[in-house]
């Protein structure tokens, strides 16, 4: 298997098996170079300066927007809003769309596999508008059945917030089916693509999704740059989320005329370097191709799951088929707390995540309290996975069990 670690300064200079990629990815040289390049060559406040350097900074920022548009296959770059992260993108929709469009008697549908970032904003929207929060429950393997989907989506479903790929289970949800049915009933859908954007090609037009959110940092871009895609018609009708500089046409003592899309939703100084480096991250992914990424991730996930399945007392959460994991392998070891597992693995040079993964309602639904998650990226290698599974093999004995 070809090693991509050479492209990643942190991995190339370290012996760590980094398996917490779903929390945040590592950054390739190309991304670090782009971030530095922005500050070294183009640094001025984007969208403001009328001098050449200011225009160069604006140019970087708008070129990045166009790259994201192409990445998502959106029709217009004005439908791409830069935010800080998925959480901010979802809050933007909750405050600007949901608060202005939902009312008592409406239902707001949320998938039970939602990250807290795709649940708390909807709890707020339901509380403020009087709409009812309704859950789409998954099976124990994490799947949403056709029956469950058809039962819960009705003429009262005015909004649905669905996760494309859960950060706990890793399976791709049938978002197209859900979108079709919600639309048929006159509702609007947001898809949380935080965990899908790094692993699968996304086509917002083919999906016919109304809003879609993802974070740059899970896609190898810097922290602090995120994206919200929204259909132009919906975004046009929504009031701004945050107000202040850069999002206005004109201001009087009493009022303001807001800027056109997308600037209406980008108040204050924007993250020019982050956007420029996000462009580099997308170009890096494009240069490899999703097929390559998926092939490597599947091979490594298969290796990890096959080895884990051989270990007594280890239970893998969700589907037992590596094809349905997108690199996310969540597991429990009977009798051992995930915090102990993570710290034993840390001692073996393996970085994993332990806890509730910001998805407490899902874990409760699945009947587990806390778990350990290894999340694999294409730049991991067989040696990382081997070190991980060998370390898991020794955990029960280390904790004083006979086997
Ligand atoms: N949704 C999902 C599915 C996630 O995995 C995460 C990050 N763990 C988020 C939302 C929130 O992302 P961020 O913290 O970058 O806003």
Q: Is the CB of 194 under 6 A from ligand 1?
A: yes
Residue 152 tokens read as 């819960």
CA distance 328 to 165: 10
Q: Report cis status (omega within 30 of 0) of the bond before 272.
A: no
Question: Which residue intervals of 94-163 are DSSP H helices?
Answer: 99-101, 120-129, 146-152
Position in ligand 1 atom list of the atom nearest CA 226: 15
Q: Is the CB of 118 under 6 A from ligand 1?
A: yes
For the chain, where do the domains classified as CATH 3.90.1150.10 start and end? 289-398
CA–centroid distance, residue 86 to ligand 1 (Å): 6
Q: Is the CB of 85 under 6 A from ligand 1?
A: yes
* The predicted structure's pLDDT at residue 48: 82
CA–centroid distance, residue 222 to ligand 1 (Å): 14
Q: Is the CB of 173 under 6 A from ligand 1?
A: no
30-286 topology per CATH: 3.40.640
Position in ligand 1 atom list of the atom nearest CA 164: 3
> What does the pLDDT profile of the chain (403 residues) look like in tens digits?
668 999 999 999 899 999 999 999 999 999 999 999 999 999 999 988 889 999 999 999 999 999 999 999 999 999 999 999 999 999 999 999 999 999 999 999 999 999 999 999 999 999 999 999 999 999 999 999 999 999 999 999 999 999 999 999 999 999 999 999 999 999 999 999 999 999 999 999 999 999 999 999 999 999 999 999 999 999 999 999 999 988 889 999 999 989 899 999 999 999 999 999 999 999 999 999 999 999 999 999 999 999 999 999 999 999 999 999 999 999 999 999 999 999 999 999 999 999 999 999 999 999 998 999 999 999 999 999 999 999 999 999 999 998 7
Position in ligand 1 atom list of the atom nearest CA 223: 15
CA–centroid distance, residue 398 to ligand 1 (Å): 33
* The predicted structure's pLDDT at residue 1: 64
Confirm if 281 and 221 have CB atoms less than 8 A apart.
yes
Q: Is the CB of 83 under 6 A from ligand 1?
A: no
Q: Is the CB of 115 under 6 A from ligand 1?
A: yes
* The predicted structure's pLDDT at residue 402: 85
Q: Which CATH number fits domain 289-398: 1.10.10.10, 3.90.1150.10, 3.90.1170.40, 3.20.20.100?
A: 3.90.1150.10
Position in ligand 1 atom list of the atom nearest CA 89: 16
How would you classify the pairing of strands 353-355 and 371-375?
Answer: antiparallel
- The number of residues in the chain equals 403
Chain centroid to Cα 97, Å, comes to: 20
Q: Is the CB of 375 under 6 A from ligand 1?
A: no
Residue 290 tokens read as 């999703």
Ligand 1, pocket-test mutation among 90, 161, 167, most atoms within 8 A of CB: 167
Residue 284 has a CB neighbour count (10 Å cut-off) of: 20
Confirm if 293 and 285 have CB atoms less than 8 A apart.
yes
Q: Is the CB of 87 under 6 A from ligand 1?
A: yes
CA–centroid distance, residue 164 to ligand 1 (Å): 12
CA distance 366 to 218: 25
Ligand 1, pocket-test mutation among 117, 121, 190, 330, most atoms within 8 A of CB: 117
Which protein residue's CA is at the shortest distance from atom 12 of ligand 1?
A: 86
- Per the annotation, the verdict on 138 as an active-site residue is no
Ligand 1, pocket-test mutation among 21, 86, 88, 173, most atoms within 8 A of CB: 86
Q: Which residues contact 202 (CB under 8 A, 6 or more apart)?
A: 71, 72, 73, 164, 193, 196, 212
CA–centroid distance, residue 256 to ligand 1 (Å): 33
C-alpha gyration radius of the chain: 22
Q: Is the CB of 86 under 6 A from ligand 1?
A: yes
Ligand 1, pocket-test mutation among 83, 84, 87, 199, most atoms within 8 A of CB: 87
CA–centroid distance, residue 50 to ligand 1 (Å): 36
The model's pTM is 0.98
For the chain, where do the domains classified as CATH 3.40.640.10 start and end? 30-286
Position in ligand 1 atom list of the atom nearest CA 84: 16
Which CA distances in Å does 176 have to 146, 172, 191, 205, 353? 12, 11, 10, 11, 30
């Amino acid at each position: 298997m070809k090693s991509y670690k050479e492209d990643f300064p942190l991995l190339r200079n370290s012996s760590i098996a980094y398996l917490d990629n779903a929390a945040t990815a590592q950054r390739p040289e190309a991304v670090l170079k782009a971030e530095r390049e922005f500050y070294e060559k183009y640094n001025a406040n984007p969208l403001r300066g009328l001098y050449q350097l200011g225009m160069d900074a604006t140019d970087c920022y708008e070129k990045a927007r166009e790259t994201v548009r192409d990445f998502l296959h959106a029709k217009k770059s004005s439908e791409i809003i830069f935010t800080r992260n998925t959480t901010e993108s979802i809050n933007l929709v909750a405050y600007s769309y949901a608060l202005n469009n939902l009312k008592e008697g409406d239902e707001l549908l949320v998938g039970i596999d939602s990250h807290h970032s795709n649940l708390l904003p909807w709890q707020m929207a339901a509380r403020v508008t009087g709409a009812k929060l309704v859950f789409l429950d998954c099976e124990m393997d994490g799947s949403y059945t056709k029956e469950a989907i058809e039962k819960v989506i009705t003429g009262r479903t005015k909004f649905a917030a669905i996760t494309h790929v859960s950060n706990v289970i890793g399976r791709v949800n049938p978002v197209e089916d859900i979108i079709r049915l919600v639309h048929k009933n006159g509702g609007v859908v947001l898809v949380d693509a935080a965990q899908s954007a790094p692993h699968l090609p996304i086509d917002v037009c083919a999906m016919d999704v109304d809003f879609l959110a993802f974070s740059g940092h899970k896609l190898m871009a810097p922290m602090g740059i995120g994206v919200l895609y929204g259909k132009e018609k919906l975004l046009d009708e929504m009031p701004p989320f945050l107000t202040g500089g850069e999002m206005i046409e004109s201001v009087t003592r009493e009022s303001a005329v807001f800027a056109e899309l997308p600037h209406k939703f980008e108040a204050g100084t924007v993250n020019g370097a982050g956007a420029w480096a996000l462009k580099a991250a997308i170009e890096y992914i494009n240069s490899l191709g999703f097929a390559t990424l998926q092939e490597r991730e599947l091979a490594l996930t298969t290796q990890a799951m096959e080895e884990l399945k051989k270990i007594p007392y280890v239970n893998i959460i969700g589907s037992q088929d590596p094809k349905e994991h997108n690199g996310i392998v969540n597991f429990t070891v009977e009798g051992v707390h995930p915090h102990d597992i993570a710290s034993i693995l840390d001692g073996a040079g393996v970085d994993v995540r332990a806890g509730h993964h910001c998805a407490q309602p899902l874990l409760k639904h699945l009947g587990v309290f806390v778990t350990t998650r290894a999340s694999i990226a294409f730049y991991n290698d067989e040696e990382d996975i081997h070190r991980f599974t060998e370390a898991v093999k020794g955990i029960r004995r280390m904790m004083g069990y006979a086997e």
